[in-house]
Amino acid sequence: MEEPHSVNSLRTILSFSKRGRTTTASVSFVGLGEHDPKPSEVYGFVGSITTVVATTIYLAWAYIPEPWLHSIVIFYYPNKCWALAVPTYAMVIIVLAVIFYIGLNFMSTPPPTLLTTMFDEFSREPSSFLSHMEGDEQPIEPISDLGIDKINVLMFDDAK
Protein backbone atom coordinates (compact mmCIF):
# COMPACT_ATOMS: atom_id res chain seq x y z
CA MET A 1 0.00 0.00 0.00
CA GLU A 2 1.27 3.44 -0.88
CA GLU A 3 1.91 6.08 1.74
CA PRO A 4 -0.68 8.89 1.58
CA HIS A 5 1.93 11.64 1.10
CA SER A 6 4.12 9.97 -1.56
CA VAL A 7 3.96 11.09 -5.16
CA ASN A 8 5.89 10.14 -8.28
CA SER A 9 6.67 13.66 -9.43
CA LEU A 10 8.74 16.63 -8.34
CA ARG A 11 6.26 18.37 -6.11
CA THR A 12 6.27 20.00 -2.72
CA ILE A 13 4.06 18.32 -0.18
CA LEU A 14 2.68 20.25 2.73
CA SER A 15 1.56 18.22 5.63
CA PHE A 16 -0.14 19.72 8.62
CA SER A 17 0.06 18.32 12.08
CA LYS A 18 -3.07 17.22 13.89
CA ARG A 19 -3.16 20.43 15.87
CA GLY A 20 -2.66 22.65 12.80
CA ARG A 21 0.12 24.68 14.42
CA THR A 22 3.21 23.59 12.50
CA THR A 23 3.76 23.20 8.81
CA THR A 24 6.43 20.94 7.40
CA ALA A 25 7.53 20.94 3.80
CA SER A 26 9.23 18.00 2.18
CA VAL A 27 10.31 17.57 -1.41
CA SER A 28 10.09 14.21 -3.07
CA PHE A 29 12.60 13.57 -5.87
CA VAL A 30 11.59 10.19 -7.18
CA GLY A 31 13.40 8.74 -10.14
CA LEU A 32 16.53 10.94 -10.15
CA GLY A 33 18.77 8.89 -7.84
CA GLU A 34 22.33 8.71 -9.10
CA HIS A 35 21.61 10.94 -12.11
CA ASP A 36 21.18 14.14 -10.12
CA PRO A 37 22.73 17.17 -11.83
CA LYS A 38 25.83 18.42 -10.08
CA PRO A 39 25.93 22.10 -9.10
CA SER A 40 28.97 22.70 -11.31
CA GLU A 41 27.06 21.35 -14.31
CA VAL A 42 24.09 23.58 -13.58
CA TYR A 43 26.29 26.65 -13.06
CA GLY A 44 28.19 25.86 -16.27
CA PHE A 45 24.98 25.52 -18.26
CA VAL A 46 23.49 28.74 -16.85
CA GLY A 47 26.81 30.53 -17.41
CA SER A 48 27.05 29.44 -21.02
CA ILE A 49 23.46 30.46 -21.78
CA THR A 50 24.01 33.82 -20.05
CA THR A 51 27.17 34.39 -22.08
CA VAL A 52 25.42 33.67 -25.36
CA VAL A 53 22.49 35.96 -24.50
CA ALA A 54 24.76 38.79 -23.30
CA THR A 55 26.93 38.54 -26.42
CA THR A 56 23.86 38.59 -28.66
CA ILE A 57 22.46 41.67 -26.92
CA TYR A 58 25.86 43.40 -27.06
CA LEU A 59 26.32 42.71 -30.78
CA ALA A 60 22.75 43.75 -31.54
CA TRP A 61 23.26 47.04 -29.67
CA ALA A 62 26.60 47.65 -31.39
CA TYR A 63 25.47 46.95 -34.97
CA ILE A 64 21.78 47.87 -35.20
CA PRO A 65 21.33 51.49 -36.32
CA GLU A 66 19.69 53.94 -33.91
CA PRO A 67 16.53 54.51 -36.01
CA TRP A 68 15.82 50.77 -35.90
CA LEU A 69 16.25 50.76 -32.11
CA HIS A 70 13.82 53.71 -31.86
CA SER A 71 11.31 51.87 -34.07
CA ILE A 72 11.18 48.98 -31.57
CA VAL A 73 10.75 51.47 -28.68
CA ILE A 74 14.27 51.24 -27.26
CA PHE A 75 15.38 54.74 -26.37
CA TYR A 76 17.69 54.27 -23.37
CA TYR A 77 21.02 52.69 -24.27
CA PRO A 78 24.68 53.70 -23.92
CA ASN A 79 26.53 55.70 -26.53
CA LYS A 80 27.88 53.61 -29.43
CA CYS A 81 31.49 54.69 -28.71
CA TRP A 82 31.39 52.34 -25.70
CA ALA A 83 31.08 49.42 -28.12
CA LEU A 84 34.77 49.92 -28.90
CA ALA A 85 35.91 51.44 -25.60
CA VAL A 86 34.85 48.60 -23.28
CA PRO A 87 36.60 45.77 -25.19
CA THR A 88 39.67 47.98 -25.63
CA TYR A 89 39.81 48.73 -21.90
CA ALA A 90 39.34 45.05 -21.11
CA MET A 91 42.19 43.99 -23.40
CA VAL A 92 44.52 46.67 -21.99
CA ILE A 93 43.72 45.53 -18.44
CA ILE A 94 44.44 41.90 -19.36
CA VAL A 95 47.77 42.79 -21.00
CA LEU A 96 48.80 44.96 -18.04
CA ALA A 97 47.83 42.19 -15.59
CA VAL A 98 50.02 39.69 -17.47
CA ILE A 99 52.94 42.16 -17.50
CA PHE A 100 52.44 42.87 -13.79
CA TYR A 101 52.36 39.13 -13.02
CA ILE A 102 55.57 38.49 -14.96
CA GLY A 103 57.22 41.45 -13.21
CA LEU A 104 56.24 40.14 -9.79
CA ASN A 105 57.71 36.74 -10.67
CA PHE A 106 60.99 38.35 -11.75
CA MET A 107 61.11 40.36 -8.53
CA SER A 108 60.48 37.32 -6.31
CA THR A 109 62.96 35.04 -8.08
CA PRO A 110 66.51 35.10 -6.72
CA PRO A 111 69.30 35.87 -9.21
CA PRO A 112 70.85 32.84 -10.93
CA THR A 113 74.33 33.65 -9.55
CA LEU A 114 73.13 33.15 -5.98
CA LEU A 115 74.39 29.84 -4.54
CA THR A 116 71.18 29.24 -2.58
CA THR A 117 69.46 28.46 -5.87
CA MET A 118 71.68 25.36 -6.14
CA PHE A 119 72.26 24.37 -2.51
CA ASP A 120 70.05 24.54 0.55
CA GLU A 121 69.73 22.80 3.92
CA PHE A 122 68.30 19.69 2.24
CA SER A 123 71.16 19.21 -0.26
CA ARG A 124 73.05 15.94 -0.01
CA GLU A 125 76.55 15.39 -1.28
CA PRO A 126 77.12 12.05 -3.00
CA SER A 127 78.65 9.60 -0.58
CA SER A 128 81.39 7.19 -1.48
CA PHE A 129 79.29 4.11 -1.94
CA LEU A 130 81.31 0.99 -2.54
CA SER A 131 79.45 -2.17 -3.22
CA HIS A 132 81.09 -5.55 -3.01
CA MET A 133 78.32 -7.20 -4.98
CA GLU A 134 78.51 -7.77 -8.70
CA GLY A 135 76.00 -7.90 -11.53
CA ASP A 136 72.30 -7.38 -11.00
CA GLU A 137 72.48 -7.79 -7.23
CA GLN A 138 73.97 -4.35 -6.56
CA PRO A 139 71.77 -2.20 -4.33
CA ILE A 140 70.52 1.20 -5.35
CA GLU A 141 72.85 4.05 -4.42
CA PRO A 142 71.63 6.45 -1.73
CA ILE A 143 69.87 9.55 -3.00
CA SER A 144 72.04 12.63 -3.46
CA ASP A 145 72.25 15.83 -5.48
CA LEU A 146 74.42 16.07 -8.56
CA GLY A 147 76.96 18.85 -8.51
CA ILE A 148 76.81 21.61 -11.11
CA ASP A 149 80.26 20.60 -12.37
CA LYS A 150 79.05 17.05 -13.14
CA ILE A 151 75.94 18.40 -14.88
CA ASN A 152 78.07 20.72 -17.03
CA VAL A 153 80.41 17.87 -17.97
CA LEU A 154 77.48 15.62 -18.88
CA MET A 155 75.65 18.26 -20.88
CA PHE A 156 78.41 20.28 -22.53
CA ASP A 157 81.40 17.94 -22.80
CA ASP A 158 82.40 17.50 -26.45
CA ALA A 159 84.77 14.61 -25.73
CA LYS A 160 82.13 11.98 -26.57
Distance CA 111, CA 108 (A): 9
Q: In this structure, what are the phi and psi dihedrals at residue 16, rounded to the nearest 5 degrees?
A: -105, 145
- Structure confidence by residue, pLDDT tens digits, 83-137: 999 999 999 999 999 999 999 999 999 888 887 777 778 777 776 666 666 666 7
CA distances to 14, 16, 27 from 22, in Å: 10, 6, 17
Question: How does pLDDT run across 14-31, given as a tens digit for each residue?
Answer: 444 444 554 455 555 555
β-sheet bridge partners, residue 117: none
